[in-house]
Structure 1
Amino acid sequence: MSSDRKQTQLRLAPDILAAGKDAAAARGLDFTKYIERLIAEDTTGARAAGMAAAQHLIDNHGDFLADLEADLDTQHAPTPRNRGTAA
């Protein structure tokens, strides 16, 4: 069985490799597919387009998002326990 895929070798620091494998797993991808996707996004302009879209969202809705985040932080903030009561 022939394939048009080529094999290469990478040398990565252990912490970078672990982070990459964790990121791949979080996306439901194997490590090879994750690396392939990163390269494709970087070289086709897809990553730049995504970053531009994210910046547009922040520029146009940043205040709303900041308020929403603050509200969520307040709702989920730990409450101090009353002193003098049993834990």
Structure 2
Amino acid sequence: MASAKKQTQVRLDENALEAGKAAARARGLDFNKYVERLIVEDTTGARAAGMAAAQRLIDEHGAFLDDLEQELDAPYTASQPGVAA
């Protein structure tokens, strides 16, 4: 059985609200679900664990990822006038 949802009201700056709605759309979520997910991730440690994992990936493979990015960008930067390859 699903738990009952409670309703609350939050006042947000217009820019923060629009950014939140855009982020929700980008993730295929409605705004309420997006806010709920942010709260759950923040209060359970899931967000911190994800950020720590991302940092480990960058620390361990950052040079490889930088090289790969340059390699993938090379055909585009070489064809642009005035851009050194």
TM-score using structure 2 length = 0.85
Is 1:5 the equivalent of 2:5? yes
Taking the TM superposition and a 5 Å limit, the aligned residue runs for 1:59-70 are: 59-70=59-70
Secondary structure of the residue aligned to 2:49 is helix
| In structure 1, distance between residues paired with 2:57 and 2:32 | 31
The separation in 2 between residues aligned to 1:76 and 1:61, in whole angstroms, is: 24
Q: CA RMSD in A?
A: 1.6
Question: Which residue is 2:46 aligned to?
Answer: 46
The answer to which structure has the higher helix fraction is 2
Q: Distance in 2 between matches of 1:40 and 1:75?
A: 42
Q: Which structure 1 segments of 5+ residues have no match?
A: 82-87
Tell me the TM-score normalised to structure 1 length: 0.83
Q: Where does structure 1 differ by over 4 angstroms across 4 or more consecutive aligned residues?
A: none
- Higher Cα radius of gyration: 1
In structure 2, stretches of 5+ residues that fail to align are: none
Separation (CA, whole Å) in 2 of partners of 1:72 and 1:15: 34
Q: For residue 76 of structure 1, give the secondary structure of its aligned residue in structure 2.
A: helix
Find out whether 1:76 has 2:76 as its counterpart: yes
Q: Deviations over 1:38-84 (max 9, x none)?
A: 00000001001101110110111010011112222322225128xxx
